[in-house]
């Protein structure tokens, strides 16, 4: 269902929900005075540092710092988006989730398309499973049997078969009223521009459905049975499938074990399935892409330890180095990463079949920890008895430590670096402090703001010392709104003063729209809407950034920032203003009445000169 969820409903829902009950269904809790305590489900620990307060309806971990209410816990633990977490809590109470603006035709169309995609892909998965069981799937069944896969594993992973025909799936879906255009959009058909012909993307392949956290099919991977290329083929990017976010086998791993402690990341879906056949049910695979931060976020929400499995050849080592670079910023205390390198010529599938599950799991347990791999990579090809090589070694390690969050792990690595090089740890800490210019997400409007007239957006509160560092004008406004969403009432109804094509402009538009639509007063609920996105990281950083301004001065500050942005906006030429408004309409955005009127005025004004395109 489309539309924003009203704040009043969220407040009522949280008031009627017991966070102790929600957490207690997933974490073993014990009464500890007025609170409850247990082992944190978000990082590995031996003694409880995770507390849940029935009085405050809040949870907090003193080890890794996670905290929040029942909604936040469901989002983090069950990997739900904000609306899905609201729906799950509401369903427990037998409530329907109301929506504001549910009559928006564009929102309704988006919802229909999502439902259409789920139905289409599930229908396709059923088609492939049926074909595997038919006579035409004989070769595929023989292949799976040769790979040692049982009927139970084939059924659990939903493995199927795409017939060696150009239009088998296309005809099957067309008969059920699904157009070629929709099949093309979701990666099931290939369209040839030169001939206008469309045909099945997957042909004569063993098919592996790629599922989301709910078990819904969102894409496919296919392993060819003949000599066609490529040997392995994944669905392209679609509105419901993004390779940089999804991990094959993650759903199946969670279904097999709800209390996972470690995840093994391998290269391909056949590796995942083969390990599952041998009882190793904690493996997943990236889908033709390098490891991403989105992948890591998903994994570390689920487990405290991740083991990356690489080939032992040069390409495998290079992939491991790339993974290390990606992992470093996510290594808060309590998380563990290991690197497992297989014998050359082996993959997890072949190795587990040759050595057995116990031997393979022993290899996993003996995999190199991040610290060991980091120092080995920095020392590779260098003679640490030579001063010059020791300097390059130390520089390489320090460059990696710059990307590591502050914490015990960083301190221990600095101490180890000091011992290996003979340089005082304090000297390395000073070098790191000098290199650490700013860890804040970049605000593209900051430079522009600093070059604006001195009084642009300047208020008595700022002159009194409420300083905003490198934030631009829009960034300062977002900073205020994140800390106090009710300040949206001090903004003009129209957002024509806020440039949406530079810096934080587009994000500011979206934040203001959300606050107004939902009536949000709680910053945590606002942040939940952007959870797991780059915009969410930006807003979370602003929320962590201390707001030194007195509460009574914030309203005037907001109005002063709007005035400053309007002055800057007024300096644009009519052509620039016209182009900006026109671009928004062409992008499908609805302009306010004032903006539409201004667009017509600009059109009339520009008719005397060069006509806009």
Q: Do 372 and 254 lie in a common domain?
A: yes
Residue 451 resides in a domain: no
Q: Do 481 and 523 lie in a common domain?
A: yes
Helix axes 314-327, 370-379, angle to 10 degrees: 120
Helix axes 348-355, 357-365, angle to 10 degrees: 120
Q: H-type helices in 366-436, by residue range?
A: 370-379, 387-401, 408-421, 425-435
Residue 445 resides in a domain: no
Chain centroid, CA 52 distance in Å: 26
Q: What is the tens place of the pLDDT at every residue in 81-122? A: 888 888 888 877 777 788 765 555 665 666 666 677 778 999
CB-CB contact of 41 with 66 (8 Å): no
Q: Do 356 and 307 lie in a common domain?
A: yes
Q: Do 225 and 114 lie in a common domain?
A: yes
The predicted pLDDT at position 441 comes to 45
Structurally, the chain folds into a number of domains equal to 6
Residue 229 resides in a domain: yes
Q: Do 368 and 258 lie in a common domain?
A: yes
Q: Do 43 and 133 lie in a common domain?
A: no
CB-CB contact of 188 with 124 (8 Å): yes
Q: Do 82 and 63 lie in a common domain?
A: yes
Q: List the domain range (segments joined by +) for residue 178.
A: 110-234
- Whether the upstream peptide bond of residue 306 has omega within 30° of 0, thus cis, is no
Residue 446 resides in a domain: no
Domain end point (choices 205, 234, 263): 234
- Compute the distance between CA of residue 182 and CA of residue 161 in angstroms, rounded to an integer: 21
Residue 116 resides in a domain: yes
Place of tokens 């929900």: 17
How far is CA 172 from each of CA 445, 454, 600, rounded to the nearest angstrom?
A: 52, 67, 50
- DSSP-assigned states of every residue in 320-386: HHHHHHHHGGG--TT-EEEEEEPPTT--HHHHHHHH-HHHHHHHHHTSEEHHHHHHHHHHTT--TTS
The predicted pLDDT at position 147 comes to 93
Q: What is the dihedral of CA 234, 236, 239, 240, to 10 degrees?
A: 0
Place of tokens 């520009």: 606
Q: Do 579 and 502 lie in a common domain?
A: no
The predicted pLDDT at position 586 comes to 66
Q: Do 506 and 590 lie in a common domain?
A: no
Domain end point (choices 181, 209, 234): 234
Domain end point (choices 354, 376, 398): 376
Residue 241 resides in a domain: no
CB neighbours of residue 129 within 10 Å: 18
Residue 68 resides in a domain: yes
What residues of the chain score a pLDDT lower than 50? 1, 437-469, 609-613
Residue 459 resides in a domain: no
User: Which is it for strands 305-310 and 262-266: parallel, antiparallel or unpaired?
Assistant: parallel
Return the structure tokens found at 596.
């539409």
Q: What is the tens place of the pLDDT at every residue in 258-298? A: 778 899 999 889 999 999 999 999 999 998 888 888 888 78
């Amino acid at each position: 269902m489309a539309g924003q969820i009203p704040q009043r409903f969220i407040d009522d829902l949280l008031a009627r929900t017991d966070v102790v009950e929600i957490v207690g269904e997933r974490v073993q809790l014990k009464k500890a005075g007025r609170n409850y305590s247990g082992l944190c489900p978000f990082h590995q620990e031996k003694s409880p540092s995770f507390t849940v307060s029935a009085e405050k309806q809040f949870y907090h971990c003193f080890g890794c710092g996670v905290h929040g209410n029942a909604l936040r816990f469901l989002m983090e633990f069950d990997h739900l988006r904000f609306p899905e977490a609201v729906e799950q809590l509401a369903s427990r109470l037998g409530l329907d989730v109301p929506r504001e603006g549910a009559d928006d035709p564009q929102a309704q169309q988006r919802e229909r398309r999502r439902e259409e995609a789920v139905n289409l892909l599930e229908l396709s998965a059923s088609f492939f499973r049926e074909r595997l069981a038919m006579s035409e799937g004989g070769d595929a069944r023989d292949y799976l049997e040769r790979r040692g896969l049982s009927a139970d594993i084939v059924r659990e992973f939903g493995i199927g078969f795409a017939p060696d025909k150009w239009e088998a799936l296309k005809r099957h879906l067309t008969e059920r009223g699904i157009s070629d255009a929709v099949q093309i959009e979701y990666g099931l058909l290939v369209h040839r521009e030169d001939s206008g012909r469309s045909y099945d993307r997957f042909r004569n392949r063993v098919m592996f459905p790629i599922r989301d956290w709910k078990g819904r099919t969102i894409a496919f991977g296919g392993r060819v049975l003949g000599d066609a290329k490529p040997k392995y083929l994944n669905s392209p990017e679609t509105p419901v499938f993004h390779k940089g976010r999804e991990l094959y086998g993650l759903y199946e791993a969670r279904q097999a074990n709800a209390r996972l402690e470690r995840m093994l990341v391998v290269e391909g879906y056949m590796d995942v399935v083969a390990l599952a056949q041998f009882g190793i049910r904690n493996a997943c695979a990236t889908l033709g892409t390098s490891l991403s931060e989105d992948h890591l976020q998903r994994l570390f929400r689920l487990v405290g330890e991740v083991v990356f499995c690489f080939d032992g050849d040069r390409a495998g080592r290079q992939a491991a180095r790339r993974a290390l670079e990606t992992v470093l910023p996510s290594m808060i205390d309590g998380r563990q990463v290991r690197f497992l390198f297989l014998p050359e010529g082996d993959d997890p599938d072949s190795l587990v079949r040759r050595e057995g599950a116990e031997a393979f799991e022993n290899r996993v347990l003996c995999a190199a920890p991040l610290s060991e791999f980091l120092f080995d990579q920095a020392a590779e090809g260098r003679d640490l008895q030579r001063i010059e090589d020791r300097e390059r070694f130390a520089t390489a390690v320090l460059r990696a430590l710059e990307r590591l969050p502050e914490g015990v792990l960083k301190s221990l690595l600095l101490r180890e670096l000091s011992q290996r090089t003979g340089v005082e740890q304090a000297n390395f800490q000073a070098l790191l402090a000098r290199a650490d210019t700013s860890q804040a997400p970049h605000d593209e409007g900051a430079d522009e703001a600093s070059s604006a007239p001195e009084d642009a957006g300047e208020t008595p509160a700022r002159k009194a010392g409420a300083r905003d560092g490198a934030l631009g004008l829009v960034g300062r406004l977002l900073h205020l709104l994140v800390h106090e969403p009710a300040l949206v009432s001090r903004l003009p109804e129209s957002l024509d003063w806020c440039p949406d094509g530079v810096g934080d402009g587009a994000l500011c538009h979206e934040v203001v729209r959300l606050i107004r639509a939902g009536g949000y007063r709680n910053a945590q609920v606002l942040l939940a809407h952007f959870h797991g996105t780059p915009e969410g990281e930006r807003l979370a950083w602003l929320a962590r950034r201390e707001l030194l301004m007195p509460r009574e001065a914030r309203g005037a500050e907001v109005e002063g920032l709007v005035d400053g942005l309007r002055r800057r906006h007024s300096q644009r030429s009519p052509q620039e203003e016209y182009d900006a408004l026109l671009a928004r309409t062409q992008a499908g955005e609805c302009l306010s009445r004032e903006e539409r009127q201004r667009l017509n005025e600009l059109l009339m004004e520009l008719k005397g000169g060069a006509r806009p395109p």
